Amino acid sequence: MSEGTAIRVLIVDDHPVVQDGLKLVVSMSPGLQLVGLTSNGEEAVELCAKLSPANLPDVILMDLLMPGMGGIEAIRRIRQAHPSVQIVALTSFAEPEQVQQALKAGAIGYLLKNVKAAALREAVRSAYARRSVMAPEATEALVQAINSNDGAQTDLSERELEILRLVAEGLTNAEIGQRLFIAESTSRFHVSNVLLKLGASNRTQAVKIALERNLIKSPSKKG
């Protein structure tokens, strides 16, 4: 974000009280600009379709449970049509399946509605910088989902090992997506699963664990 350029934020939520709270946080935060309020997914999709690329929101705070088109479908449609728009799922609770669906749809983060104002501001800035942000409850839900599959899913799949090797090469989610011909959101989802399965808090730690377990070979150094 260049100096003097505000991060454009769209709020999508059907509860007026929640809308008002989010609106207050965004409006009072330096460097953030509220560009719209909608009450369901369909309105959000239609608004983004009408806007020119220059006027699209940079970050959308998206409720997941709304009448009509829900947040997950809206995330999927907006991300397919406008890959540059980053979306943070914002809801009242973190169910494992719901967290997985939101991330698969293309959300870059998952927060609970009781998030503090400072954390919400930081989440918007992180999403704008294409850094994933997850509430601890959402991370715990993902771990629960992985561990609930009779232990079978604790092993890395062939695709996840492939992703891990590319992470070890230093590729970003976008670069991994280009290399494997998959969407960046799919790449990000796989990377998140790899970190969770390895019990790693970041990419560097994941590579270190993988090397220690002989899951991958050390990347060759050029030059």
- What's the per-residue H, E or C state across the chain? CCCCCCEEEEEECCCHHHHHHHHHHHHCCCCEEEEEEECCHHHHHHHHHHCCHHHCCCEEEECCCCCCCCHHHHHHHHHHHCCCCEEEEEECCCCHHHHHHHHHHCCCEEEECCCCHHHHHHHHHHHHCCCCEECHHHHHHHHHHHHCCCCHHHCCCHHHHHHHHHHHCCCCHHHHHHHHCCCHHHHHHHHHHHHHHHCCCCHHHHHHHHHHCCCCCCCCCCC
Q: How is residue 51 written in tokens?
A: 């806007």
Q: Kindly state whether residues 137 and 179 are assigned to the same domain.
A: no
Whether 91 is in a domain gets the answer yes
Tell whether the model's pLDDT for residue 96 goes beyond 50.
yes
Domain around 96 = 7-144
| CATH number of domain containing 76 | 3.40.50.2300
Dist. CA 95–CA 93, nearest whole Å: 6
**pLDDT bracket for residue 220 (50, 70, 90):** low
Q: Is the pLDDT of residue 221 over 70?
A: no
- What is the amino acid identity at position 99? V
1 occurs within a structural domain: no
192 and 106 in one domain? no
Select from 144, 163, 180 the last residue of a domain: 144
Tokens read off for 71: 């947040």
Judgement on whether residues 109 and 37 belong to the same structural domain of the protein: yes
Q: 111-163, pLDDT tens digit by residue?
A: 999 999 999 999 999 999 988 888 888 777 766 665 555 443 447 888 889 99
Quick check: is 150 in a domain? no
Using alpha carbons only, give the angle 140, 141, 143 rounded to the nearest 5 degrees: 65
Residues 42 and 94 in one domain: yes
Q: How far apart are CA 126 and CA 137, in angstroms?
A: 18
CA distance 122 to 143: 24
Query: Would you state the pLDDT for residue 195?
Result: 86
CA distances from 119 to 55, 102, 122, 133, 171 (A): 25, 20, 5, 10, 28
Q: Is the pLDDT of residue 206 over 90?
A: no
Q: What is the mean pLDDT of residues 104-115?
A: 89
In a domain, 2, yes or no: no
pTM listed for this prediction = 0.69
Residue 188 falls inside a structural domain: yes
Residue 171 lies in a domain: yes
Residues 48 and 115 grouped into a single domain: yes
| Amino acid code (one letter) for 90 | L
Contact 60, 86 (CB under 8 A): yes
The total of structural domains in the chain comes to 2
Rounded alpha-carbon distances, angstroms, from residue 176 to 157, 181, 203: 16, 8, 13
Q: Are residues 135 and 164 in the same domain?
A: no
- pLDDT at site 93: 82
Residues 139 and 165 grouped into a single domain = no
